[in-house]
Chain A
């Protein structure tokens, strides 16, 4: 399946798309939506016809809380998971027995792709429970025959002892928890020599974070992408080339669209990822707006698997358009994180000055950054705006501010203040 020929893949996708639409026809929401859009599933004869179908939005799933969007009777549902529900009601995802089988198959495929197997000891250091990362990876890892340590989160010292005592070779957790494990292991004087693979997901992380995690944990770091609506983790995954994520085209039909107009973008263009899952029984979805921003990478991967998506750079609702250029706060964070002269906190202000967008970025001085000389500060300011220019393709004004003067965020950070509309 991983190296299926393109024409065979297209046939399979079309067959599965038509099955998915039939499945969606069991759901009141889709009966209504298809009617409003004046389209019937029977009209979908090619893969491109998918553009005739309406999008599905997260808020529609929330409105169907709890079981309103299930396409099968409850007796067929063998498990539910929910999303975290940070924005309003949680979304409930149901799974049939076949859904669980499909999902573990996807995770197993990913783990096999990165060289894991029955000789590995796999520590699953994520929340077990309604969060999909725990049970999802658990069953996938069992499928490949790895020895699974369902450590879940918390008690970091114990986690580190387990890695050492059980000879753990691969760990799955969030990148921020991985960093914490590294810190605690260092303070305990543990080097975690058996660990060789780190699977990190559930939040976006930068290339500088990769360098840091690989160095401090002694692992090869792999990016894992998924979302509960699409089962959970396993949707797309990095192969050992570490250059983009393979998304499983036999199970997910991928489109990249302009989040403003909804129009489909050409391969290579960056926009919002829209997915139509092709094998989901309990919760079929049509053109689901993930809100995640990426692009289809048109270069063939040396590993021979199908078209990749670029690592997720942010969410479409975080995206700023500055003088016509798309900018994500995560790109700014990535640049700043790689510079020892500044701290990790930053704020972005966008203003319109004489009909032109101006972006100002405030960064805090770090201890390492201050030599005492004014000229060094000016040089540093220039270096930061130079690095930002390279990454964003945009000139920005960089303001150096005193330490601990920028706001800190406990929950979701709000680092961008767009003052263009305020006049």
Chain B
């Protein structure tokens, strides 16, 4: 049950220098893969590009063939009310349940705002959010 809400994010190792994001994005464009959401986390001289795409397996293969180091990361996507308090509602549910958010990023699309979450106890998080009336992205959206 909870598993059907666990979404595969692709995480790509990238050096922190000009043109690297362009190379990744260009590869996905050439393969006709759509990016729903993405973020870049930066550390000492390198970064990790995180993306939700419509065909994660294809994206993984494509980027790996081009020599990128890619891996899948389990995340969840929660629909947010696009108004004051939207983020607070979700964060409170998780905080009260003792679930830690490792990182998060968000996008606002046709169907409203979505918060992508990487948490330490992913199945608990799904149960808690559903139990509090949350609306989660189905994993089948990105296959």
Contact = CB atoms under 8 A, between A and B. Distances in A.
Given A378-B44, A402-B13, A372 B68 contact: no
Contacts of A399: 45-46
B71 A372 contact: yes
A373 interface: yes
Contacts of B11: 370, 372-373
A369 B41 contact: no
B45 A402 contact: no
B71 A400 contact: no
B65 to A, nearest CB: 12
Contacts of B14: 402
A323 interface: no
Given A377-B48, A402-B13, A365 B67 contact: no
Contacts, number: 51
Interface residues on A, range: 10 to 19
A174 B70 CA distance: 36
A419 interface: no
Interface string A384-423: 0000000000000001111111000000000000000000
Nearest to A369: B69
A374 B48 contact: yes
A25 to B, nearest CB: 61
B75 to A, nearest CB: 10
A383 interface: no
Interface in B1-55: 11, 13-15, 20, 41, 43-48
Given A401-B15, A402-B14, A371 B71 contact: yes
Interface residues on B, range: 10 to 19
Contacts of A194: none
Contacts of A378: 43-44
A365 B69 contact: yes
Given A378-B43, A401-B15, A402-B14, A373 B67 contact: no
A372 to B, nearest CB: 3
Given A377-B13, A402-B15, A372 B44 contact: no
A404 B41 CA distance: 22
A370 B71 contact: yes
List 3 A-B pairs, minimum CB-CB distance, nearest first.
Answer: A372-B11, A372-B71, A370-B69
Given A400-B45, A401-B46, A405-B15, 7 more contacts: A365-B69, A370-B70, A373-B11, A374-B47, A378-B43, A381-B44, A403-B69
24 contacts: A365-B13, A370-B13, A370-B70, A371-B71, A372-B48, A372-B70, A372-B72, A373-B11, A373-B48, A373-B73, A374-B48, A377-B13, A377-B43, A377-B48, A381-B43, A400-B15, A400-B46, A401-B15, A402-B13, A402-B14, A402-B15, A402-B68, A404-B67, A405-B15
Interface of B: 11, 13-15, 20, 41, 43-48, 67-73
Interface of A: 365, 367, 369-374, 377-378, 381, 399-405
